[in-house]
Structure 1
Amino acid sequence: MRSIFFKSPSPPPSPLHHTFSQSLMEENIEVAELIITRWETDVASLFFHTDEARQYLGSIKGLQKAMQYLVLHHSSSQKLVRAQILMQTAMKRLEKEFYRILKSNRAYLDPESVSAHSTSRPTASRSSFSDFEEEDFENESRDENDSMPEVERVSLAAMADLRAIAEAMISAGYAKECAKIYKIVRKSIVDEALYHLGVERGLSLQQIQKMEWEILEVKIKTWLSAVKMAVKTLFYGERILCDQVFSISAPIRESCFTEISKEGALALFGFPENVAKCKKTPEKMFRVLDLYEAVADLWPEIESIFSFESTSALRSTAVNSLIKLGDAVRTMLTDFETAIQKDSSKTTVPGGGVHPLTRYVMNYISFLADYSGILSDIFADWPFTIPSALPESYFGSPDNEESISSPVSARLAWLVLVMLCKLDGKAAMYKDVVLSYLFLANNLQYVVGKVRQSKLNFLLGDEWAIRHEQKVKQYTANYERIAWSKVLESLPENPTADISKDQVKDHFRNFNYAFEEAYMKQCSWVVPDPRLRDYIKNSLARRIVPIYKEFYEIYGGVEARKEQWAESLVRYTPDDLGNYWSDLFYGSRSSTSVSSTSNRGGRSR
């Protein structure tokens, strides 16, 4: 006999009251026997019939009262033994009904369905064991039920039946049997759901550390797809269902939910921590950030769902994952900076194009900028000290002080500066100083373009981009000044001045030589950015063409071409110069003789 029926002794009742109470209790036993024995061998579902279920639960409650009375007043009565046998029979029936409802309504009790409607309808649509005696059991929420979708209606009804059975069994002292059935059925559902989501059990740290990165990355992607569904739907739905079914007992709620979810949740939340403990290389940064972001975003739900003391280990596992992932990000960022500084490649980019280091670093940093919110969280307790002084204006406009002074902005700006300093050294590897300036212009233009096209523009500030665009123009001005100085020097200071025929010959001869030399040298050089390429060509045209045009119109026109020397010395019209410049900076033009493709009447195209 369960201890729940024992109560503290009370004052002895009067003989009349005792006789009346005893007759009521005996009647309760008679009624219970009639109802319980009728369903003892019936294979149909008791809870399919609402009236029958109400009567059955009512008889159990009456039987329970009778047993409590007999324990106090007639503990040796055979009627108590009879009542106890009836209670055991009833509990076995309720065990079967509890299992049947859990299994047959699996589709309606899946976590997704439960979590979808539980927040808007926190209570079930039927009365529970504690209030089943109220009239109109079926009509209690008839209007509400009629407007519900069928899935929700069946789900709520099943939860109400489960809760009524659980309350009856717990009140009768059969909590252990009820909880055992619930744990077995629901744990199998949770485990199966996690398996279909791709959450792997028993994946040790050693196994993860030995995996090829390509394989591990696939597993990370699978985990990222699974974790939101697992937390917000699976575990949330299970917590709601458990709270509903075992609303009568907080300890049983906690015990059931913990046993159902603990193993799967540990496997789920432990995976990111194991990934964080693997070898740290810069290419793993973004997947680690994805893991951190996923756990951080879900932390409020994790903390709420696993709020029991017995699930504290699950909360700790999630927190430890965040800590280890944050440490991994900080380590990888330091390693990334070190890798830039230690880059020792001696090869130069043909034609002064964009260096692979520039592409790699700027792509990497622009991707990091997309994680600025997460990085701010990770860097919050990690002070950043720049090894050397930066210009005061380096970060940009003071109007944008909040963003440019953030830890993330400072770190990313520093990484860009480290890379730019490295590019200065690589520019010095070119034997031709002109090509060095073109190389610097190309690479800085690529940097500015990446900043403008990404979230870096916000983090570094518009002023930062403007200042570096000005520096690109300085590099191109230096390029033009050195690369085309001989061409300009070959022309007279005053192209309209009256000069001798020999001087005219010398100017055309020197111009041809200087122009062809500059063109031949630069026809294999590159300017990948179309806007920068057009800017340089237009700048050259503004500096050289007007002077040459004036000189040509006076000394190289139709009349001048009648002179015998003009056949060989007046090689280019002003339009020819633009045609030749249009071929520059693509890096794929043949370095054939310039004059071989031109004629007296202009270049054939």
Structure 2
Amino acid sequence: MEDQDLPPPDAAIENADQNEQVVEEPTPVASRVDILSQEIDRFIYVLDGDDQSDSSSPPEIVGSVHIFADLLDFKVVEYESGSKKWIELEEDECSSFVESIDRTAKLLKSLSRFHSADYYPSVINRISEVKQRAMSFMEDEFKSILDDYQTSYDRDQRNETDEAKTPSPSNVDEASETELPDQSESPPEKDEFLGYSGEVTTKLNKLAEGMIAGGHETECTELYFVVRRNAMEQNLKHLQFEKYSIDEMQKMQWDPIEKEVSAWIKIFKDFATSLLPNERRLVDAVFSENHTEISDSLFGNLARIVIFYLLTFAEAVMMTKRSAEKLFKFLDIYETLRDSIPEVEKLLSGDWLYQLKTAASLISTMLGEAIFNILGDLENSIQADSGKTPVPGGDVHPLTCYTMKYLKHACVYRDTLEQVFREHKKIDRPDSATSSDPDPDQDPISDDQTQNCGYQAGPGSAFQLQLAKVMDLLDANLETKSRLYKDPSLSLIFMMNNGRYILQKTKGTGEMRSIMGDPWVRKRSSDLRSYHTNYKRETWTKLLQCLSHEGLSVNGKVMKPVLKERFKSFNAMFDEIHRTQTTWVVSDDQLQSELRVSISAIVIPAYRSFMGRFSQIFTPGRQTEKYIKYQPEDIETCIEELFDASSNQGGKKR
């Protein structure tokens, strides 16, 4: 059937439809629009209830349909012209427009039930044309508002960051005098929505509602996704995040990678705790609780992109060649994923949550294996350190310094390493120190050596056992190296130096001290006392034999030739000890002092007593000077010069 002629909007409202009852008294415009809407709703109800959709006599078009189409078209033209900007509209007007779009979509759906080409062709085309025009307007407004406010926010954020980095001299004094904002206050509303105020998100929500109601859900979500994806990538760029591939990372030196990892950690935490939660708030505000599936899908896609970039970086770092120096950055990445991923998981659901958990779990597992293996490599490196050149002066061996500093730093990550070892201790590592096939070219460390190092296998945490094992291997290696010294006394000084260094580093690190425990510390201290006692016995007991009274007297008379020989032997032996042991090194001041005090305590009283009793036997003058080379004070001065190679280089006069 033919459509009726369409009167102008104003005339249509005044005259209404000829088939409808005319309102005799004037009514407000809002009321007339309400009446018009009710008429359209009744007509839709009639259309939907007609069971003769295939008949030749469907319900006739009511006049209010034409009026409704004209009014909506008029409103779209008004908005398009800019005389009324969407962002400036009152909420009631926005809601009314969205309701009109929803009513239009329902009307078209109901009219389309009648499939014959003779039914409603002109009115369907007319309403479709108005609806399409409205949809185009809403799409343009939706994209424009998303773009404009995001661009403005990005610019402001960059300016604030730049100003914070480079304060001008003129505003330094002003800043010191100006009251700073209270950092404890809640962030501004616009920050919660990434630059969009609550008012703007309300307007965006109305546009989204209208587009979805009008059947343009795909266009709406695609527009939103593209704008927000670009914004997130701009955020990554602004934070100077580089998207390195695994191949690119493999070719880089470690130093620049370390710097990138430090930046990555901050970026990841920022996204997990601030940017992504705000992104979630924004998408929920724009699409509201009526469209949770849409907001879930949009956010999941957006989060997936940025998390994919960040996880790919972590994977690329992990895939670089394994080395000891990388352990701590690997641990930093592991901790960041462990602590931050749950924050992101709270924002996701369904398949998006599953994908994130799967990807993060895979990388965390691979990181854990790498960390576990790096510490296994440390075992191997200690065992493989079979250098045959002894450290000059019996000083602390570089292997000891490196290992203890490494372990000290590792103990800072105690809880994380405990977790890693719990999860990965059962992994077979054919290249580790626990391998059942030892290297035939490597100087083996026997089980007896390991057991004598102070650690007894027993209950303990996985990392505690690993730490103790590394200590045992180091002890055994040092024991082997001590045998490189031909002088047994120097060998003992070497063991004292290294033992003292290990003990002090352990006691000075709260985490390591706690892990190793009091029994281990007591055993170490006991070992040091044994080295000290054995050193005094090896060096100074022989010297004191020269001061023995035994054999000096026959029938109460001192045998002068024997006495002369005793003094000569003492002088020669003491000269040799002094000459040799002033080139030795005891780098720990306290240990150096303890050694000197204990030596003085046994040598000086014995020498003073011996000299006091027998010096008068010699003829005063040249004979006394010939045999009594040292006074007790000279002995004390010489002892104070021991173990200080740096001070005695080039010879030091007494």
Normalised by the shorter chain, which TM-score bucket? 0.7 to 0.9
1:270–1:318 contact (8 Å) kept in structure 2:
no
Query: Pairwise mapping of residues 64-463 of structure 1 onto structure 2 (< 5 A)?
Result: 64-65=102-103, 68-69=106-107, 72=110, 76-77=119-120, 78-106=122-150, 149=188, 151=190, 155-201=197-243, 203-247=244-288, 248-310=290-352, 312-383=354-425, 388=447, 394-395=454-455, 405-454=460-509, 455-463=511-519
2:283–2:299 contact (8 Å) kept in structure 1:
yes
Correspondence 1:515 to 2:553: no
- Taking the aligned partners of 1:105 and 1:515, their CA distance within structure 2 comes to 88
1:139 aligns with: none
Taking a change above 3 Å as real, the CA distance of residues 468 and 537 of structure 1, as seen in their structure-2 partners, is same
The one-letter code matched in structure 2 to 1:412 is L
- Give the RMSD, CA atoms, in angstroms: 3.7
Query: Pairwise mapping of residues 407-556 of structure 1 onto structure 2 (< 5 A)?
Result: 407-454=462-509, 455-493=511-549, 500=558, 502=560, 505-556=564-615
1:41 aligns with: 81
Taking a change above 3 Å as real, the CA distance of residues 63 and 469 of structure 1, as seen in their structure-2 partners, is closer
TM-superposed deviation, 1:157: 2.0
The one-letter code matched in structure 2 to 1:93 is F
- Taking the aligned partners of 2:276 and 2:187, their CA distance within structure 1 comes to 24
Q: Deviations over 1:89-140 (max 9, x none)?
A: 3222222221222122226867999xxxxxxxxxxxxxxxxxxxxxxxxxxx
Q: Deviations over 1:443-500 (max 9, x none)?
A: 1111111111222111111221121011011111111111112321121359999863
1:495–1:550 contact (8 Å) kept in structure 2:
no
The one-letter code matched in structure 2 to 1:46 is W
Taking a change above 3 Å as real, the CA distance of residues 546 and 393 of structure 1, as seen in their structure-2 partners, is same
- Taking the aligned partners of 1:180 and 1:266, their CA distance within structure 2 comes to 20
Q: Deviations over 1:334-364 (max 9, x none)?
A: 2221121121211110000011111111112
Correspondence 1:588 to 2:632: no
TM-superposed deviation, 1:181: 1.6
Taking a change above 3 Å as real, the CA distance of residues 500 and 9 of structure 1, as seen in their structure-2 partners, is farther
2:552–2:563 contact (8 Å) kept in structure 1:
no
1:495–1:551 contact (8 Å) kept in structure 2:
no
- Taking the aligned partners of 1:161 and 1:499, their CA distance within structure 2 comes to 120
Q: 1:60 aligns with which of 83, 95, 98?
A: 98
Identify the range of structure 1 (273-282 vs 254-263) with the bigger mean alpha-carbon deviation: 254-263
TM-superposed deviation, 1:30: 5.5
Unaligned 5+ runs, structure 2: 1-42, 52-57, 158-185, 427-432, 437-446
- Taking the aligned partners of 1:299 and 1:591, their CA distance within structure 2 comes to 59
Greater gyration radius: 2
Taking a change above 3 Å as real, the CA distance of residues 150 and 379 of structure 1, as seen in their structure-2 partners, is closer
TM-superposed deviation, 1:438: 0.7
The one-letter code matched in structure 2 to 1:351 is G
2:564–2:627 contact (8 Å) kept in structure 1:
yes
Correspondence 1:577 to 2:621: no
1:520–1:593 contact (8 Å) kept in structure 2:
no
- Taking the aligned partners of 1:285 and 1:8, their CA distance within structure 2 comes to 74
2:98–2:206 contact (8 Å) kept in structure 1:
no
TM-superposed deviation, 1:518: 1.1
2:641–2:648 contact (8 Å) kept in structure 1:
no
- Taking the aligned partners of 1:537 and 1:229, their CA distance within structure 2 comes to 57
TM-superposed deviation, 1:311: 6.1
Unaligned 5+ runs, structure 1: 114-146, 599-605
- Taking the aligned partners of 1:392 and 1:405, their CA distance within structure 2 comes to 19
- Taking the aligned partners of 2:357 and 2:46, their CA distance within structure 1 comes to 42
Q: Deviations over 1:372-406 (max 9, x none)?
A: 2111111113447978587599458x9xx9xx710
- Taking the aligned partners of 1:175 and 1:71, their CA distance within structure 2 comes to 16
TM-superposed deviation, 1:432: 0.8
Taking a change above 3 Å as real, the CA distance of residues 520 and 263 of structure 1, as seen in their structure-2 partners, is same
Taking a change above 3 Å as real, the CA distance of residues 531 and 167 of structure 1, as seen in their structure-2 partners, is same
The one-letter code matched in structure 2 to 1:241 is L
SS at match of 1:105: helix
- Taking the aligned partners of 2:501 and 2:630, their CA distance within structure 1 comes to 35
Q: How many residues align?
A: 545
1:337–1:415 contact (8 Å) kept in structure 2:
yes
TM-score by length of 1: 0.80
Taking a change above 3 Å as real, the CA distance of residues 481 and 163 of structure 1, as seen in their structure-2 partners, is same
Identify the range of structure 1 (404-413 vs 496-505) with the bigger mean alpha-carbon deviation: 496-505
Identify the range of structure 1 (417-426 vs 262-271) with the bigger mean alpha-carbon deviation: 262-271
2:178 aligns with: none
